Amino acid sequence: MSRRRRGLLVRTVLFLFALNAASFAVYFLLHPPNRSPTDADPFLPLETLAIPHKNARSTLKSWPSLPSFLPWRPSPAPPLRSCEACFGHGFSRTVDVLRSSPSDGNGRGWFRCHYSETLRSSVCEGGRIRMDPARILMSDGGEGLEAVIGRGEEEELPRYLPGAFQIDSEVGDGGGDGKRAIDEGFLEKYLPHGAVQYHTMRALMESMRVVGHEQLDCTQWIEEPTVLVTRFEYANLFHTVTDWYSAYVSSRVTGLPNRPNLVFVDGHCKTPLEETWEALFSSVRYAKNFSSPVCFRHAVFAPLGYETALFKGLTEHISCRGTSASDVREDPDVQKTARLSEFGEMLIAAFGILEEKDFPRKSSVGHNVLFVRREDYLAHPRHSGKVESRLSNEQEVFDAIKAWAANQERCKINVVNGLFAHMHVKEQLQAIREASVVVGAHGAGLTHLVVARQNTRVLEIISSMYRRPHFALISEWKGLEYHAINLAGSYARPAMVMDELSSIMSGLGC
């Protein structure tokens, strides 16, 4: 072949290559690739998914910037029984059940647990996990309260048939009733029953079966990380706060870059507290609201609220005093913690009120004295609508505080009527944040002290029938100044309350 003909052939090949590349460019310009439908809705059918999940743009809420935030480091492990082990990242022992790369969303399933020797519980997580709502025996959940009056609690708690949860694994035998994913020995060691009579999260793990890659039959995929929670005593604020805290800690321990979706694996009806779940997390859904099996790319299983330090500290001594994050950084001490302050800031940030700069009030403007009241309200299907009085002359005490405040000359004192049962959660949190002093009889409403500012004073009026440490402990773990009046019965002499309140206000310059 002559040199001239070879040159012509090379130029022809290059021309055809360039023409082909240009054709591809024009095609993709006119036919852009489909974006994942999960950009708009994390709960979508599998058949609508157009591209691998790792390329999808996240629609999850971002974590807010929290003044008290400290890094959640699993290593080095915090000392046993230290404040960080109790309230922070004490889940420092990671044990693999099924190994695979969590970053490989299209690979095999994986499962591991992060165990806390201090709390004797685990935060577990896994990938390519299937949940079959038909194999979870419980009420649907999410109904209006009035529609389910009289429904028994046993109907609302989940009971799992084998294969209610499945995980994709090379060792799967293809049957939902086949080999257990997690054996009894592992559960005894890392998810012990403890004092919980029916440990729902452990029962969930017992139901989990391994299946082969081709048997992981899903009609829906949830592409973004999702925390699974089972709630007990879901209408009680104190117990709900322990659940909020467990879900928050689980999200941090597993290093989730954004606020996850959340699924209730229980059949409870709706309550006013649900608005806080919706504010804290990116989305909230009930397990039984899925009409068919659903698969999770990344599922996180939160410990029960009973397994948090907030609850265990009621019966086990946890020697921690709350302080600022800067104090923890500058002068580390195993008996200091800023974790409850971090969590409290997370709660108020979820409602968009973290940036309020005008509180606490200066004495020239006035001090808010918040009186947290106990009111009648219908809490759950088995509730009569009547709350048990723990301060028999509550109205008399409130009226006395108002009269006393009106006669103060050194400071303006604003007495706030804390009718929490008829206030939105955001309003309750604002009232706590704005208070210089929080006064109340022992009751779940005082659990909101987790969001109080560090210089807030607390006065708890305790009847002889309710000498419980809940709010003294929260005050200690938050670093709040705490005072108590212990009654011989349930009647409080107004003069006694005024004397204690006057002493507290004098410490504020009043």
Express each pLDDT in 413-453 by its tens digit: 999 999 998 899 999 999 999 999 999 998 889 999 999 99
Tokens standing for residue 98 = 């099924």
Q: Which residue has 């009648």 as its token pair?
A: 376
Q: What is the DSSP string of 133-161?
A: GGGEES------GGGGTT--HHHHS-EE-
pLDDT at 30: 38
Burial code (b: 16+ CB inside 10 Å, e: under 16) for 190-222 equals bbeeeeeeebbbbbbbbbbbbbeeebbebebbb
Average pLDDT for residues 96-104, to the nearest whole number? 71
- 425-434 and 339-350 helices, crossing angle to 10°: 130
- Mean pLDDT of all residues in the chain? 85
Q: Quick one: pLDDT at residue 255?
A: 97
Cis peptide before 272 (omega within 30 of 0): no
The mean pLDDT value for 115-141 works out to: 97
Q: Compute the distance between CA of residue 330 and CA of residue 386 in angstroms, rounded to an integer.
A: 49
Q: What is the 3-state secondary structure (H, E, C) of 430-480?
A: HHHHHEEEEEEECCHHHHHHHHCCCCCEEEEEECCCCCCCHHHHHHHHHCC
User: Of 108-122, 165-179, 275-289, 325-339, which gets the smallest average pLDDT?
Assistant: 165-179
Write out pLDDT tens, residues 386-410.
566 789 999 999 999 999 999 998 8
What global pTM score does this model have? 0.85
Report the distance separating Cα 70 and Cα 61, nearest Å: 20
Instruction: State residue 378's pLDDT score.
Output: 46
Give the separation between CA 58 and CA 55, rounded to whole angstroms: 9
Cβ-contact 284, 278 below 8 angstroms: yes
Q: Which has the closest alpha carbon to 296: 110, 114, 170, 163?
A: 110
pLDDT tens digit sequence for 1-11: 555 555 555 45
Q: Sort 177 into a burial class: Cβ within 10 Å, 0-12 / 13-18 / 19+.
A: exposed
Would the pLDDT of 283 be above 80? yes
- Note the pLDDT tens digit of each residue in 195-243: 888 999 999 999 999 998 778 888 899 999 999 999 999 889 999 999 9
- pLDDT score of 110 more than 90: yes
Q: What is the pLDDT of residues 24-50, one digit of tens each?
A: 443 333 333 333 333 333 333 332 232
If one counts every other C-beta atom within 10 angstroms of the C-beta of residue 480, the result is: 21
Helix runs in 236-312, H state only: 237-253, 274-280, 309-312
Q: Which residue has the tokens 């940036």?
A: 355
385: left (phi over 0), alpha (psi -120 to 50) or beta: left
Mean pLDDT to the nearest integer, 119-132: 97
Distance CA 141, CA 156 (A): 7
Is the Cβ–Cβ distance between 246 and 211 less than 8 Å?
Answer: no
> Vertex 385, ends 490 and 350: CA angle to 5°?
95
